[in-house]
Amino acid sequence: MTLFTKETEEVLRASGWSPGRQIDTGPWREALERNGFQWNAVADRFLMEFGGLVVDISGPGITSAREPFELDPMLADGEDDRFAEWADVIGESIAPVGELDSGRYFLGMSESGDLYLVADWLASFGKIPDALESLILGKSPVPVDAE
């Protein structure tokens, strides 16, 4: 049994993923915590399986364009204040997990497992596996009300 649709699984496999994949996230966690980021166990588990993937997609999607993304939390280094501000809004930490659209947006994961688009605004792709489906198939994230 797979967690993903056939198309999403094919894209992930072409990007280097396989079921049960495990990588060491320790160096990322240590570097980012030193630089002011909050880390959480959910982001750590996610990155153990999907960290390091570069998903090179483009074209029309279901409700938005399909955009490339890279799951490397170091790409958000220097943005700890942005992540902390949005964490205050939602009431839980958001750890960086990568970037979307060649650095136009950052990706972060909350303690409760929501995958967020992090920018001057915040939007949720939902929880894994649905969040990866949304990213790969081109489904718009749901904006978070900042008030």
Is residue 81 exposed (0-12), middle (13-18) or buried (19+ Cβ within 10 Å)?
Answer: exposed
- Work out the burial of residue 131: count CB atoms within 10 Å of its CB; fewer than 13 is exposed, 13-18 middle, 19 or more buried: buried
pLDDT confidence bin for 1, thresholds 50/70/90? very low
* Cβ contacts of 19 within 8 Å, gap of 6 or more: 2
Assess if residue 109 is contained within a domain.
yes
Instruction: Tell me, yes or no, whether 144 lies in a domain.
Output: no
Rounded to two decimals, the pTM is 0.95
Does residue 70 sit within a domain? yes
* H or E element at residue 10: helix 6-14
Q: Measured on CA atoms in the order 70, 72, 76, 82, is the torsion positive or negative?
A: positive
Residue range of the domain that includes 69? 6-138
Taking only the tens place, the pLDDT of each residue in 113-131 is 999 999 999 999 999 999 9
How does pLDDT run across 46-86, given as a tens digit for each residue? 999 999 999 999 999 999 999 999 999 999 999 999 999 99
**Residue 146 located in a structural domain:** no
Query: For residue 70, what are its two tokens?
Result: 């890279």
147 falls within a domain:
no
| Strand partners of residue 106 | 99, 118
Dist. CA 28–CA 5, nearest whole Å: 29
Count of domains in the chain? 1
1 located within any domain: no
Dist. CA 14–CA 73, nearest whole Å? 21
pLDDT of residue 91: 96
Residue 3: pLDDT band by 50, 70, 90 thresholds? confident
Give the CATH number of the domain where residue 107 resides. 3.40.1580
